[in-house]
Structure 1
Amino acid sequence: MTNNPERVLSIPVKKSDPVEMYQRLRRFVATKYSESDAQKVESVLETLNRCRIDMVEREDLSLPMQRNCLIHYFKCICMVEPLFTAISSDAANTDSDPITFVWYDALQPDRFSSQRSIKLEKASVLFNLGAICSQIGASCDSTSAVSRHFARDAFHDASQFFWKLWQVYAKDVSATFDLTPVLAQTLYYLFSAQAWELQLQQQLDRTFIDFPIKQHRCALLFEKVYEHYRNVLDSLLSDSAVSKYVVNFDESWMTHIHHKMKFFRVEARQRRSSIIPESKRPKAAKVLKLPPLEKLLLGSCTNADQWMPKQQPLFLDLVFSEYSPFRIIDGGKLVAKPWDMPPPYPLAILPSRSSSPFMLAIPLKKSEHLDLYDSLWNYFVLTYSETLAKSVEGFLEILDKLRRELQCDNLSLHIRRDRLIQYFRYLCMIHPFFPMATLCPNPPIFIWYDAFDPQQSSSQHNIHLEKASVLFNLGAIGTQIARSCDLTTIQGYHVAMDALNDASHWFLVLQRVAKKVAEKGSPTMDLSEKCIQILCEIITAQIAELKMNPHSHSDGSTLAVCPVTSLLYQKAYDMLTLEPLAENLRQTSIPGFLESKMKTCHVQTGPSDVTEQFLSGYSEALSLLGEGCQTSCLDFLSEFGLLKITGGNIAANFRGSNVGIGGDELAGDLSNIAVVEN
């Protein structure tokens, strides 16, 4: 193999010359649109300018902080992109003041590209996001299983950023060689190979009950890693320009990649006999033992599809979330928080106090109080050791604190939604340690009451009941937010639509989890399959009703009867009246609501304004960054989360948090991101 088989490759970031954007962009908006419009977006323009200055000039930022800054800046430039398009189309206007970006080649710093195009800026920032993630991966301690987990995620993110650069942005940018499609393709394959290699190392380190399954998985991974290194080498050798470019930067890269490909090709061939035909594979293989910290991270990452909605609720987060750095306030003004200001952020706007008669609000489930901390602490001490229990103590504190806070009746809608999402994410982390009834003298027992009949309750040691109940409340909160919206405004319309889509997502996830609850006992009726289906149908009908109304409808009149939505409400009504398991729902106001909906469907909205253009760009940024480019586990390296990993421990991070349990703020230095296991 190579002289240093543990070596991993990373690349430097691109450098850029400073440029002042705030004054020129604000002046353009005021001239092209109006002073009122300029005031609406000036906060975003200020943040954009500040982000770029920090990105270009600050040298004291740790790698995770640089990642945070770049992600924030990318969102900002996506938001202002319509302004650059307008400036380009208005080139003859003497009032326009074009902005020129100068970026230097990452591997050949004596070469640079100078353009007025915002596409160069976006491509360069995307390149740097990939480069920073590659450096995070290379900085991790290779002797630690947990650090290798972070390194794998970092290289995965790096590969995805270069994938986006290759497939989307590099094609339209004529710049230095580091932004060409062929190099972006090469870097995508390279960091994919390193991510898969670390995934393979994790499989080799783990002890399985079913040893043949371990051999099977490892054989497949050896094939996968070989294919990616072969693609890297093929990409390098297929283009003499890229080969020369890489060799001029570091001639050892070619030798390193060649040896990697050769090694994994031989290993893959030797292990092919271990691959089990699909017809003979068992349904699951159980892992005997994982370090507790890695097991918690695995629970977060493998269940990310549950707590991270695929469709970002843009307006819902912009109005209601404490953790969205961009806010919409009254009058359509956009407020941007500095990238290095830790959340939560001040509430920008409260929901309307008057309920909309067009929306149905689902009640919340209630729960008995539970001391999660003591139960889980005892489990970790008895199963592992007190030392290992202390390594996850911060996590246990936050988990218990969130659950206790959710028992409060006076939480506002937006606070409750944020806390429920946080709590559900951490439930996904602790999930792999359940069931623990046979290993713990006082395992936690979860007791939840029916949302529609509070006299009925269900109790289980099964964590699926806890997750299902939290999912139900997340869906219910979405319907309550939608009901609180003023549908006569475009802002209220968008928030209501997002809230209902959010509710739909949580109830769809609930359908999967509720089946596992039923396997362990008799849940309350609100968690039954039929009840969840009825609620999903009602939410679907409400979404369809909102979609039927065009944004231009602002004269204050109501829509006529909508045949399509009436049929959807009729379907929900039929299920409610005919299904024997829907008795609880028939005793509520839901039947009367559906009967009225089958007759008329009302919605009215107001006009849009200049912020719509910015929000369109912001939506694009969220979509791109959310498609595999931001692994959830890397968030634990950030100084801004409720939890962070330092010294091999999960620590509660109270910096800037209003859910702190108490005590002094923990140190936030993450310049050295290596994690060493106890």
Structure 2
Amino acid sequence: MSNGTQRLLNPNPNPERVLKIPVKKTDPVELYRPLRNLVATRYSESDAQKVENVLETLNKCRKDIVERFGDLSFSMQRDCLIHYFKCLCMVDPLFTAVSSDAGSDPITFFWYDAFLPEHEDGVSSQRNSIQLEKADVLFNLGAVCSQIGASCDHNTALGRHLAMDAFNAAAKFFFKLWKDFAKGVSATLDLTLVFAEALHSLFSAQASELKLQQQLHDDNNYNNAVASPALQQHRIAVSFESIFKHYQRAGDLIFGDSAAIKHVCSFDETWIPHLRQKKKYFQVQAHQTRSSILPESQIPETFSLLQYYPLGHDAESVTEKLIGGICSHAVLWRAKREGIYLDLILSEYSPFKIMDGGKLVANPWDMPPPYPTNFAIRSSSFPSHILAFPLKKTEPLDLYGTLRNCFVFKYSESVAERVEGLLQMLNKLRSEMLRDDLSLPVRRDCLLHYFKCLCMIEPLFLMTDLPNPPIFVWYDAFNPQQKSSQHHIHFEKASVLFNLGALCTQIAISCDLTTIQGHRLAKDALNDASHWFFILPLEAKKVSATIDLSVNCARMLHDIISAQIADLEWNFPHSRPDRSSLPVTLLYQKAYALLTSGPENLVPSSIPQYLEEKMKTCAVETAPTDVTEQFLSGYCMAQSVIRKSCLPPCLDLHSEVGPIMIKDGNFVINLRGSIGRIGGDELPRDVSNMTIN
């Protein structure tokens, strides 16, 4: 770092201070009884029984928000609000029915302004409107995330990382509030479009400022390891420019509205001078560093996230590397198309469930997993519609001892002791992959969590650099007599990705395609399989392995799955596809062409025979839509709002119901969930309180 750049950093006004906002308060309201009566009246008593658990959970969530919200930790407040928002979106159609029914009992929500703690002002929703309720819940999600970010220790890399994710999540919640949910809502001043956009800009600025602090910390301590001096200067200049624009927009929105200025000053009179100082400081720095911004032709197209987490040997650096492994690989284990039905039926970590007969269950938001599943292997009426792929087999391997020695070799004995619980969990998960008696849901959760653990440890070391690296042995899924033995962690990850995809095809073939539930689960499973086989070449091309892990084979299997998805969509009347735009036959022909152009021993003869027979489609009959389908439609909408952009993977570690969490600034392996007890066996010793200081 040059002295000139160092001078630019002083004085940053109030570098330790970050702004946060309080949550909005609300008055109690009874939701269960009027909504259940409405379902029974407009649909039937049996329909009311199908959804009454969701209505009970909805009512409990809101009661908790009113009566005990302040006694909860920030992470539990966040979990409660997310759970409640999903329930709200599920019952949204009922409120539409209530508002159009003059004879129904009104449901009126009343909320107070967050910036007026004495409840001097409030506003009720329009008669039976749910829009104000959803807008206020999103506001509170942003507020809680702002408090999480403010509570983190900004003097450590891990604390800055968590705070950065928290402020980014807050910014995205306020962005959705500004763009979608606050429009047309008659509300208090804090919920207006001006405030929603201003808060979005404010928390974007604070997240970017923390990112800049981390960049400067990395560049000062790992100057040569991160990037060239020119690239360092470029990144810092871009950061100054971005932060200034965010603070400028937040300030312009508030400073340009006298009512907004008065409102903010009544809450905290130091906000206005703080925003002005920040805006002025970053404006000057952006101007002085603008000449350091490189033209696009000189900027690398991609940067490995590892560049931003330089390797050190202290405990904090190792912790940061583990967290960075999750964040940098999230694109791999988070499918682009959310498998809503997969989670609702299969995942032991999803509190929302579809049971037999279409009954919906919403387990309490504060109940930790595992949650029961009732998925059973069914005999499909049309088994020829879907082709299942076999799983790869592997040899047993003691990962715990090998990796623990690696940590001692690369770091120290004390660091190895601090990550011992994680290594035991990793070893446990791999051992379970050898079992043949696991149910499909448990096997799926096992593979997913093992893959995440592999992503966590990957940035810490290369297996081939170690004195006694672990040797992974995997057999070809289609030709079990062929095997490959390698040290590369990419070989292990590629094999797990293959099994995730193959397992999803087995889930799909076990579904009853004569029902809406089974049809949608099969399509979700195939979409999930498509994702795993799409990203498989990213790992497989880094190693030379068995033919089933080759790029050509992965592409061929991906094409088969794409054709099967189109086949299901074609034959599902409720999806209303443009059938002329679904060239199902051509998709099968594309897979067949890729198969025949590859090696003769690419796959056994069953796949070519299957493709040859799939040049036509078969229609299926499905049950009519009902109230359950309307609830599920709302759930899908909630997932699209919350999950895709507002739940960064690092911030997920704040949740107290997950298998891995950050608690009181420590990295904790949480064994309350099923992942520590697969098959009924505990880990070798109790490490639920294992921490990294």
Which range, TM-score by smaller chain? Answer: over 0.9
Q: Which residue of 1 aligns with 2:420?
A: 393
Q: Which residue of 2 aligns with 1:62?
A: 73
1-side partners of 2:12 and 2:541: how far apart?
A: 51
Q: Which residue of 2 aligns with 1:180?
A: 192
Letter in 1 for 2:145: C
Q: Which residue of 2 aligns with 1:135?
A: 147
Q: Secondary structure at the match of 1:172?
A: coil
Q: Which residue of 2 aligns with 1:98?
A: 106
TM-score between both structures, scaled by the size of structure 2 = 0.91
**1:512, CA displacement in angstroms?**
2.2
Q: Which residue of 2 aligns with 1:612?
A: 629
1:72 partnered with 2:72: no
Q: Which residue of 2 aligns with 1:364?
A: 391
In structure 2, runs of 5+ residues without a counterpart are 1-10
1:563-582 correspondence to structure 2 within 5 Å: 564-577=583-596, 579-582=597-600
CA RMSD of aligned residues (A): 2.2
Q: Which residue of 2 aligns with 1:452?
A: 478
1:250 to 268, 283, 295: 268
1:333 to 342, 349, 359: 359
Query: Could you say if the C-alpha distance between residues 562 and 260 of structure 1 is closer, same or farther in structure 2, counting changes exceeding 3 Å?
Result: closer
1:319 partnered with 2:345: yes
Q: Secondary structure at the match of 2:542?
A: helix
1-side partners of 2:598 and 2:464: how far apart?
A: 34
2:45 to 18, 21, 35: 35
Q: Which residue of 2 aligns with 1:672?
A: none
1:632 to 640, 645, 649: 649
1:412 partnered with 2:439: yes
Are the counterparts in 2 of residues 392 and 650 from structure 1 also a CA contact under 8 Å?
no
Are the counterparts in 2 of residues 397 and 652 from structure 1 also a CA contact under 8 Å?
no
1:430 partnered with 2:457: yes
**1:561, CA displacement in angstroms?**
13
Q: Secondary structure at the match of 2:573?
A: coil
Query: Could you say if the C-alpha distance between residues 138 and 296 of structure 1 is closer, same or farther in structure 2, counting changes exceeding 3 Å?
Result: same
Q: Which residue of 1 aligns with 2:571?
A: 549
Q: Which residue of 2 aligns with 1:161?
A: 173
Larger displacement relative to structure 2 (284-293 or 159-168) = 284-293
Q: Secondary structure at the match of 2:658?
A: coil
Q: Secondary structure at the match of 1:431?
A: helix
Per-residue CA deviations over 1:648-673 (Å, capped at 9, x if unaligned) read 553321124334415458369xxxxx
Structure with more relative contact order (C-alpha pairs < 8 Å, separation 6 or more): 1
2-side partners of 1:489 and 1:506: how far apart?
A: 26
Are the counterparts in 1 of residues 534 and 558 from structure 2 also a CA contact under 8 Å?
yes
Letter in 2 for 1:544: A
1:249-398 correspondence to structure 2 within 5 Å: 249-281=267-299, 286=307, 288-290=310-312, 291-353=317-379, 356-398=383-425
1:199 partnered with 2:199: no
1-side partners of 2:580 and 2:239: how far apart?
A: 57
Per-residue CA deviations over 1:304-330 (Å, capped at 9, x if unaligned) read 111111221111211111111111111
1-side partners of 2:167 and 2:580: how far apart?
A: 54
Larger displacement relative to structure 2 (375-384 or 609-618) = 375-384
Q: Which residue of 2 aligns with 1:147?
A: 159
Are the counterparts in 2 of residues 394 and 650 from structure 1 also a CA contact under 8 Å?
no
Query: Could you say if the C-alpha distance between residues 193 and 183 of structure 1 is closer, same or farther in structure 2, counting changes exceeding 3 Å?
Result: same
Per-residue CA deviations over 1:34-83 (Å, capped at 9, x if unaligned) read 11010000000010011111111113210101000000000000001110
Letter in 1 for 2:632: L
**1:288, CA displacement in angstroms?**
4.1
Q: Which residue of 2 aligns with 1:590?
A: 607
1:514 to 529, 533, 540: 540
1:11 to 6, 17, 21: 21
2-side partners of 1:312 and 1:406: how far apart?
A: 24
Q: Secondary structure at the match of 1:46?
A: helix
Q: Secondary structure at the match of 1:407?
A: coil
Query: Could you say if the C-alpha distance between residues 389 and 267 of structure 1 is closer, same or farther in structure 2, counting changes exceeding 3 Å?
Result: farther
Are the counterparts in 1 of residues 595 and 602 from structure 2 also a CA contact under 8 Å?
no
Query: Could you say if the C-alpha distance between residues 564 and 164 of structure 1 is closer, same or farther in structure 2, counting changes exceeding 3 Å?
Result: same
Larger displacement relative to structure 2 (466-475 or 233-242) = 233-242
Are the counterparts in 1 of residues 444 and 503 from structure 2 also a CA contact under 8 Å?
yes
1:470 partnered with 2:496: yes
Are the counterparts in 2 of residues 140 and 147 from structure 1 also a CA contact under 8 Å?
yes
Query: Could you say if the C-alpha distance between residues 2 and 245 of structure 1 is closer, same or farther in structure 2, counting changes exceeding 3 Å?
Result: farther
1-side partners of 2:445 and 2:669: how far apart?
A: 17
Query: Could you say if the C-alpha distance between residues 31 and 665 of structure 1 is closer, same or farther in structure 2, counting changes exceeding 3 Å?
Result: farther
Q: Which residue of 1 aligns with 2:3?
A: none
Query: Could you say if the C-alpha distance between residues 656 and 627 of structure 1 is closer, same or farther in structure 2, counting changes exceeding 3 Å?
Result: closer
Are the counterparts in 2 of residues 377 and 389 from structure 1 also a CA contact under 8 Å?
yes
Letter in 2 for 1:365: K
Q: Secondary structure at the match of 2:601?
A: helix
Q: Which residue of 1 aligns with 2:638?
A: 621
Larger displacement relative to structure 2 (249-258 or 233-242) = 233-242
Are the counterparts in 2 of residues 166 and 181 from structure 1 also a CA contact under 8 Å?
yes
2-side partners of 1:150 and 1:617: how far apart?
A: 30
Are the counterparts in 1 of residues 326 and 650 from structure 2 also a CA contact under 8 Å?
yes
Aligned length, in residue pairs: 655
Q: Secondary structure at the match of 2:385?
A: coil
Larger displacement relative to structure 2 (530-539 or 281-290) = 281-290
